[in-house]
Amino acid sequence: MAQIHTSGDVELGANGAPLCDCGAEMEPFISGSRRTGGLFSPHVEYRLFTCPQCGDGCRLERAQGETEWHPLTR
């Protein structure tokens, strides 16, 4: 069963995409933005990645004004 990796332990590969537990560099799947709460809450950009070998996934996000991507925190 495929997993979504959201912990702070996600490593980035040479192309800036996350590295999967199986060792492969993940490929971009979809990106977008969403609000963090109600109508007047700030937007958060996100990128979803999938592993071409095992099907696992990873989500990276950043708040408005940030330049670096980071793993999703709950």
Count of domains forming the chain: 1
What secondary structure, in 3-state letters, does 6-63 show? CCCCCCECCCCCEECCCCCECEEEEEEEEECCCCCCCEEEEEEEECCCCCCEEEEEEE
The pTM is what? Answer: 0.70
Question: How does pLDDT run along the chain (74 residues), one tens digit per residue?
Answer: 445 555 466 777 888 788 888 889 999 999 888 877 777 877 888 888 999 999 888 888 888 777 777 766 54
For residue 4, the surrounding DSSP H or E stretch is: strand 4-5
Residues of the domain holding 63: 4-71
